Copies of this chain bind each other. A is one copy, B any other.
Amino acid sequence: MDDVLILNEADLRGAVKIDLAAIDAVEAAFAALAGDGVVMPPVLSMEFAEANGEVDVKTAYLPGFERFAIKVSPGFFDNPKIGLPSLNGLMVVLSAKTGLVEAVLLDNGYLTNVRTAAAGAVAARHLAPSQVRTAGVIGAGVQARLQMQAAHLVRPFEEVWVWAPRAEAAEDCAGWLQETTGAVAHVAQNAEEVVRRSQLVVTTTPAREPVIMADWLHEGLHITCMGSDQHGKNELAARALVDADLYVCDRVSQCEIMGELRAAREAGLMTDRQPPELGQIITGAARGRLTEADVTICDLTGTGAQDTAIANAALDVVTAKGVGQRFSRQ
C-alpha cells in the first residue's frame, strides 16, 4: 500500500503481448462499457501549435475492473528532426476502490499500440464473416502490422494484402506480416484492390480524405477504421456508412466528434441514426452481422476503457512475475 510500482517500456514489452489474453481483456472492457456505472469523461486534449504537438488524456472507470488508468499521450511531430521520438507517454494506474496510485507505466505508447490492435481483433471477432480467407490493410505503419497480427488470432486468414502510398513501406510491412502470421503477403496496386480481394479490411491511416470508396464494398466484407481519432480525420467515404448493412461505433459520443460518423454527418448522412456500440454487440444488447453476405463497418476512435483494460492486464502479469521497481510514496 505504501509503494508505487514503476515499470518502463522494456518491463511492459516483456509482460504484455498481442495475444488472446490482451484481446479478451479489451473485449471485457467493451462489454463493461455497454453496462451501467461506467465513468468515462470526454478526452482532455491540448494542442501546441508552435511545437507542432498535442497531448491527449484518456481515462475510464469500468465496474468489475480493480483499477483504472489515466493515460497521458503526447505527440510532438517535429521531434524526429532533433533525434527524439514523436510519441512517448505513460499510464497512471489507480485503485478503483481507494483512488491510491498503484503504478506508473512508462510505456512510451506501447500499451496503446497493443490495446488498439486488440480492439481491432475484438471488432473482427464479433463482426467479420466467420470465414476470412483474405485480409487486407491500408497503411504500412506500426498499427498496420499489429492490427493484422491481432486479427489473425481471431480470423486465421491465409492471405494478406497491403497498400500504402510508399511502395517500399508496403513491401516492408508485407514481409513482416508474412513472417509473423505465416499468411502469404502481397502488396496491392491500390487501396481498391485490397478491399475487393478481402473479407476483412483494416484502415490505419491519418487520412483527412476517404481512402475507401463506397462502390468498392462487396458481399461478405467487414471493415474496421482505426485511423480517425481526431476531428478532421476521415478514412471512409460517407456513403459507405449508409450502404453497409451495419455500422458500429466503439463509442458513439466519440465517433460523432472524431470518427467516421463525424465526417458522414457533416456530409448530411447518418443524421437520424443512432448506431450501436461494439460493447452492445458483445453483450447481445444489439444485433451484429446477420448473414455471411452482410457488409459491416466498425469505427474505432480509441477509448479510455481500452487503456483501463490493458493496464489491469499488465499489472496482473507484472505483479505475478515480480517485475518492476517499488518506490515509496511517502
A55 within 8 A of B: yes
A40 (CB) vs chain B CBs: closest residue: B46
A65 within 8 A of B: no
Does A101 lie within 8 Å of B72, measured CB to CB? yes
Counted per complex, copies of this chain come to 2
Q: Which residues of B contact A325 (CB under 8 A)?
A: 327
Within 8 A of B (CB), among A70-121: 70, 72, 74-76, 79, 82, 84, 88-90, 92, 94, 96-101, 104, 106, 108
Q: Which residues of B contact A51 (CB under 8 A)?
A: 96-99
Max chain B C-beta neighbours (<10 A), residue from A4, A75, A82, A97: A97
Do A76 and B101 contact each other (CB < 8 Å), given the known contacts A8-B328, A39-B48? no
CA distance A104 to B329 in the complex (A): 11
CA distance A245 to B28 in the complex (A): 57
Within 8 A of B (CB), among A35-68: 37, 39, 41-42, 44-48, 50-51, 53, 55, 57, 59, 61
Q: Which residues of B contact A94 (CB under 8 A)?
A: 55, 72, 74
Q: Which residues of B contact A100 (CB under 8 A)?
A: 74, 76, 79, 84, 88
Does A88 lie within 8 Å of B75, measured CB to CB? no
Does A39 lie within 8 Å of B44, measured CB to CB? no
Does A39 lie within 8 Å of B50, measured CB to CB? no
Does B10 lie within 8 Å of A330, measured CB to CB? yes
A104 (CB) vs chain B CBs: closest residue: B104
Does A46 lie within 8 Å of B41, measured CB to CB? yes
A1 within 8 A of B: yes
CA distance A94 to B72 in the complex (A): 10
**Minimum C-beta distance from A324 to chain B (A):** 10
Q: Which residues of B contact A55 (CB under 8 A)?
A: 59, 70, 94, 99
CA distance A305 to B172 in the complex (A): 45
Do A106 and B4 contact each other (CB < 8 Å), given the known contacts A46-B59, A90-B92? yes
Q: Which residues of B contact A50 (CB under 8 A)?
A: 37
> Can you list 17 residue pairs at the A/B interface with Cβ under 8 Å?
A6-B104, A37-B50, A41-B45, A51-B96, A51-B99, A55-B59, A57-B59, A74-B100, A76-B98, A79-B98, A79-B100, A82-B98, A88-B99, A88-B329, A90-B92, A92-B92, A104-B104
